[in-house]
Amino acid sequence: MVLMLPSDSARKWHVHELELVEVVADQVAVALSHAAILEESMRARDLLMEQNVALDLARREAEMAIRARNDFLAVMNHEMRTPMNAIIALSSLLLETELTPEQRLMVETVLKSSNLLATLINDVLDLSKLEDGSLELEIKAFNLHAVFKEVMGFIKPIASIKRLSVSVMLAPDLPLCAIGDEKGLMQTILNISGNAVKFTKEGHITLVASIVKADSLREFRTPEFHPTASDDHFYLKVQVKDTGCGIGPQDLPHVFTKFAHPQSGGNRGFNGSGLGLAICKRFVSLMGGHIWIDSEGTGRGCTATFVVKLGVCDNTNTYQQQLIPLVWPSSADSDLRAPKPLPDGRGSTPLKSRYQRSV
């Protein structure tokens, strides 16, 4: 019997077939892998589309809820502010009449409570707009010195009732005109000054305004605040110092938190909504600035400081000519011990405007 061995060509062909089978198997494995990846991608795409639809629906519902809330707050703010202004104005007028000590005490209580409620109404609406981003800054040229005059006009009557000394000092190089949000700046200064009057039983409150020098900007830098020098803008620094009840070290980290009330013993007995400083922080942030509070402890007073960026006003002379003079309480001029005194005003502040805003 003769044994037939495969030829070399047959062996080569067999090896070639094996290699071909391996290549086909690899391609099939790759195809199956691609199919699995494609299927997973399609499932992920479908899931993502479902999530996007759900997110879009949730966004629309949130926007509708925000609009409804803002409309409700706006209506309530208007409807409540109208009678509240009447109560404040009439109470202010009643204080100017002859009253017995008991009657005067009751009228002052009505006036203080009305002012507190009016402030709360305004603060809730402002905070609502700040949180949903619907509040836009009104950038325009304004009289910077007049802002401080008007703030003093608001806080002087309340401070005089408590027999507190109030003074304002403006740096000699503080420009008359600036570009920015006048209302936001005024409300920030008014809220901080109002807190100083509110938490001070005796002593004095000092408001100091100056320009931060370019070589001193680095001293104010924080992780959230990076001031830079420029010819187009400057940084206004405002400090409000008081001899009030002070803030304990445990309360300082929470002073800008909404509805937070200091737990320090010296602050007990002073009621408030806990919104004023939270609103100040939002306004200052919108104005490209930074705000902080220093206190050496309970019973040792506070110093509130903020820095905001304002634009440089070129047409100061023209703007000054077009400026409408503001009224100023005659009794306040004696308290302006400043390196550069405020312009003198004529006349007295009407009672209604004097008590429009609570401090």
Q: Measure the CA–CA gap between 145 and 257, rounded to whole angstroms.
A: 30
Mean pLDDT value across residues 300-319: 83
Q: Measure the CA–CA gap between 159 and 193, rounded to whole angstroms.
A: 10
Give the H/E segment covering residue 108: helix 101-132
Name the CATH superfamily for 139-260+274-311: Histidine kinase-like ATPase, C-terminal domain (3.30.565.10)
Amino acid 321: pLDDT: 42
Residue listed under structure tokens 């981003």:
133
* C-beta of residue 327 within 8 angstroms of C-beta of residue 346: yes
pLDDT exceeds cutoff 50 at 116: yes
Window from 7-21, 97-111, 199-213 with minimum mean pLDDT: 7-21
The pLDDT > 90 percentage for the chain reads: 20
Residue 191's pLDDT band, with cuts at 50, 70 and 90, is confident
Q: Is 307 helix (H, G, I), strand (E, B) or coil?
A: strand
- What pairs with residue 304 in β-bridges? 240, 293
Give the CATH class of 17-135: mainly alpha
Residue type for position 98: E
* Numbered ranges of CATH 1.10.287.130 in the chain: 17-135
| Tens digit of each residue's pLDDT (9 = 90 or more) over 317-330 | 654 544 433 333 33
The pLDDT > 70 percentage for the chain reads: 75
- What pairs with residue 242 in β-bridges? 205, 302
| Tens digit of each residue's pLDDT (9 = 90 or more) over 57-73 | 998 998 888 778 777 77
Q: Where are the alpha helices (DSSP H) in 133-241?
A: 144-161, 182-198
The token pair at 104 is: 């005067």
* Numbered ranges of CATH 3.30.565.10 in the chain: 139-260+274-311
Check: pTM over 0.75? Answer yes or no.
no
Q: Which of 114-128, 187-201, 329-343 tops mean pLDDT?
A: 187-201
Mean pLDDT value across residues 133-157: 85
* C-beta of residue 154 within 8 angstroms of C-beta of residue 357: yes
Q: Indicate if the alpha-carbon torsion angle 153, 158, 159, 160 is positive or negative.
A: positive
Mean pLDDT value across residues 295-306: 88
